[in-house]
Structure 1
Amino acid sequence: MSKEGAHRAGFVALVGEPNAGKSTLLNALLGEKVAIVTPRPQTTRNRILGIWTGPDAQIAFLDTPGIHAPPGKKKALNRYMNEVALSALLEVDVVFMMVDAAARAARATPERPQAAITETDRRIVARLREAKKPALLGLNKIDAFPAPLLLPMIDAYRSLYPFEEIFPLSALRGEGVSRLPDLITPYLPESPPLFPPDTLTDQAERLLAAEYIREQVIRHTRQELPYATGVEVLLFDESERESERGPGLVRIEANIVVERDSQKGIVIGKGGQMLKRIGTAARQDLERLLGCRVYLGLHVRVEKDWTKTEKGIRKLGYQ
């Protein structure tokens, strides 16, 4: 039995299908943007660590890629993202599974709430049984959810797996978000803090820069393009960041990597206008992140079928 009032700390995996709202939840919990968010599925590709610190607990959240249908042997990147997410369940102290409750409502009725459960849910639950870790379930986007379905859906998920807690929330609106640390803390081990109290993430600024640029590519381009896009940072020069003469400057040069010449044309746009818009939006985000002026030079490079090979995804940092 744990001592009352003992400090607790540990790792919690955020898992679920693409667009369940995991990254939105992480940013809402921390009050800062540590994970990029777009309307497109499969935006998150790596584990993103976000650290919540309270007076009696510290929770290291791992935001994982959305788990999706196995793509077979064609896409090394998809296989990588699925394995990153599913393997996290075995390595953490607690699992927090999220589902898009609003989307599930379209599949179910009060008489047939089990129809809300997807094959991906069953894959995650199979790994939960293997991991034998405490697991909680969040029904996200509850602001767009029909009230008569709530209790039947909770019962359906309780029949699927013995979750420690099942509760509704809206990560985007912040509804129910503040309850999450209190719900998770009892399932964490007794431990001193694992990170300094002012730490929000372990991501290097160079990696964050690549993610911020990729976010703007996704937001500005067509539906099919984001899945073939990567970013490699060639230069991250902080030599002028501290300046006695005024606001400092960080110089960043990066390649936006696509798979085909036609995609390169989309990113550049007519007269270079699309690339300019992407660069302006990314630079503004980076200036807020870094707290200084940013020079951002963007280039577009074609790496044929890079998402389909192990060599290609390693070159873009997915390993």
Structure 2
Amino acid sequence: MGKGAGCGASTEAEEPPTQWAKKTYNAPAPAAVAEKPKEEAVKPIKEAPAPAPAAVEVKETPAPAPAVEEAKKVQAPSRATKILSWLGATPEPGLPVAEALNTHFPGSLPGIAVLKRTTAVLKSKYDMDGDNTIYGQSICPDEINNEKGDLADIMKEYWGEVFPMGGIGGAPYVGKTGFGAFSHHVPDDGHVFIMFGPHVGISKSGEVGKYHRIGQATESGSCGAILAGYAQCCSGDSFGFDMDDMQQSYLRSAIAPRCEECKSAANPIAAVTHVAYDSIKDKMLRIVNTKFGPGKLVILGGIQINMPAPYEDHFMPKFFQVMQEGEEPVDLLSELVFV
């Protein structure tokens, strides 16, 4: 959730009052979820899970454009953008931050819209709710992704609890064993829902990769780990695998093969964020399986965008599928497109 540092507040123009503005709007609390009886609590696994089955097969949506092309696109404001900006939920078209958001991360929605739409679809189509579904997320542990009202926070509030799967950059470092342990916690005949993705900041001036954190006089990097990995790959230096820095070692290995592609992009930071997403998605699909029971495995993937005040953080949906043992995957991404 974007927030401005207090040190510059006195020189900025007063923000218009709006129910969506970050400093005046309190998102409605998601529907209360009945607390599970204690006897239904999942008992810890006494033995390590058996080796995870092969990764599930997924019905791929059309292959995304290369990161370079993603960064070169110029998107006209959509009808959704115009409505959301009218409500104060997203920047008004024409502002630098709006141009950066719509050009490099088209289709992004405020976090509350993603929560409301995904939960409505899953409830109406599959009767999924906090009583019969466990929730996991693979996002970067950066505190700006976990502030009150951010998508990760309101998802946890709706589903009732969360199994953290990610580390710096957002990759699911828990691996097959971690997913095996997590999926063993599913309620009888219940479902698994996972959200994943990297994050990136956009400053008020429209600079991708920058975010003004509370208490700091200047903007800093977001996502710092992905930015560092990209800089390391661009440096030409040799970096081996570091047991004391395993997560950053993974990010470097994910970015390195496409470093030149990112360099030639119109916006290299936007491009490397899309590259990070591709790597995280591939890793997620390798570690999950549908062997936990008859229920659904639902995966929502995308890019988190840390927005400047007064706007709520956004999320660009890029993957939304339902999988089930013995069934073909169902692609629901179109359910998150406002037309």
TM-score class normalised by the smaller sequence: under 0.3
Q: If the length of structure 2 is used for normalisation, what is the TM-score? A: 0.25
Q: If the length of structure 1 is used for normalisation, what is the TM-score? A: 0.27
* Larger RCO, structures 1/2 (Cα 8 Å, 6+ apart): 2
**Greater Rg, structure 1 or structure 2?**
1
